[in-house]
Amino acid sequence: MIEVRRVAIVGFGTMGSGIAQVFAQAGFSVVAVDVSEEVLKRGLDNIWSGPFGLKKAVERGKLTEEQAREAFSKIKTTTNLPEAVKDVDLVIEAVFEDFEVKRKVFAEVDAHAPPHAILASNTSTLSITALAAVTKRPEKVVGMHFFNPPPIMKLVEVVRGFLTSDETVEVVRSLAEKLGKVPVISRDSPGFIANRIGVVPILEAIRLYEQGVASARDIDTAMKLGYNWPMGPLELADFIGLDVLLGIAEVLYRETGSPAYHPPPLLRRLVAAGYLGRKVGRGFYTYK
Ligand SMILES: NC(=O)c1ccc[n+]([C@@H]2O[C@H](COP(=O)([O-])OP(=O)(O)OC[C@H]3O[C@@H](n4cnc5c(N)ncnc54)[C@H](O)[C@@H]3O)[C@@H](O)[C@H]2O)c1
């Protein structure tokens, strides 16, 4: 079985930067790739001083100042993808949730990464089997689905594509454990496990709100106190991002045909109006 030592992350946005931080905190050397120096700088700022970044971990007493600096020094950045992947053992793709964009990235990574390297995608909804098909190593293509924010969330879904080998699944599963995460294994099916189930009650909460059955606050309170959810479904929708949620619902609706995933019209209106949730300060709630 290959031992993963060097890791490249392609796409240094919300998830890519969080995933880079997780690897660096676990002692791995990471090279992160994105399209411009400006985006790379934003990713590094997020890792150092973002709400789940290394400085916050020091303030919370999770890391010493020295450990935080050591982790930060393990992350290198570049806009040169071929150079970044040429001698790594694992590439994690975390670019936009768009099949065409991911397809091009996978083809380029496949052309430049060493033959033994595993190619993983952090996709939430797209097919691992379809991404594997654009490479010459489908047995080494796998889903490694982190949750947001990666430094905090324990779950990693390891997704087995149609042609993914047992060895690849095992390498990624045990790697997730080394990162301090809890891996679960899923076949390549729309939404895998957590989103396939979790999106349904969130969409139902939006329908209740849309129909005027209860206020946003009361819907959230009902689920927090009645079902012991740590966050209400509408708070969770704002946290995920209403545009991201809509994208997930659209794929699940298209792929399964189940009305449970039909995006409520209100969700579309909110996204069209730019009410995207916490990240812009407005969604179902208003944030400072
Ligand atoms: N945000 C979430 O809650 C969440 C949770 C789990 C999984 N995901 C998945 O993670 C992936 C990334 O999502 P995100 O929220 O981090 O998006 P994001 O928009 O924050 O980041 C995507 C990054 O990819 C970069 N990028 C785009 N094309 C590129 C290319 N060709 N080469 C290099 N970099 C490129 C962009 O510049 C951007 O910085 C998606 O597949 C998404 O479905 C997101």
Per-residue pLDDT reduced to its tens digit, 42-75: 999 999 999 999 999 999 999 999 999 999 999 9
User: Which structural domain range is residue 205 located in?
Assistant: 195-278
Q: 242 with 155, same domain?
A: no
For position 53, which CATH number holds?
3.40.50.720
Domain count, the chain: 2
For the whole model, what pTM was predicted?
A: 0.95
Residue nearest to atom 29 of ligand 1 (CA): 95
Same domain, 218 and 271: yes
Ligand 1 centre from 11 Cα, in Å?
Answer: 6
Q: 23, exposed or middle or buried, with CB in 10 Å at 0-12, 13-18, 19+?
A: buried
Closest CA to ligand 1's atom 9: 123
> For residue 14, how far is its CA from the centre of ligand 1 (angstroms)?
7
Tell me how far the alpha carbon of residue 253 is from its chain's centroid: 20
Q: Catalytic residue positions?
A: 124, 145, 157, 195
219 Cα: distance to centroid of ligand 1 (angstroms):
30
What b/e sequence results for 255-286 when a residue is b if at least 16 CB atoms lie within 10 Å of its CB, and e otherwise? beeeeebebbeebeebbeeebbbbbeebbbbe
Per-residue model confidence (pLDDT) at position 67: 97
Question: Residues 244, 150: one domain?
Answer: no
| 221 residue type, one letter | T
Ligand 1 contacts CB of residue 105 (under 6 A): yes
Q: Are residues 205 and 153 in the same domain?
A: no
- Quote the ligand 1 centre to 63 CA distance (angstroms): 27
With cut-offs at 50, 70 and 90, classify the pLDDT of residue 270.
very high
Inside any domain, residue 268: yes
Question: Has residue 286 been placed in a domain?
Answer: no
Same domain membership, residue 219 and residue 180: no
224 and 121 within one domain: no
56 shares a domain with 117: yes
- pLDDT tens figures, 80-104: 999 999 999 999 999 999 999 999 9
Query: Closest Cα to atom 31, ligand 1: which residue?
Result: 105
**179 and 228 share one domain:** no
Atom in ligand 1 nearest the alpha carbon of residue 15 = 16
H-run or E-run covering 219: helix 216-226
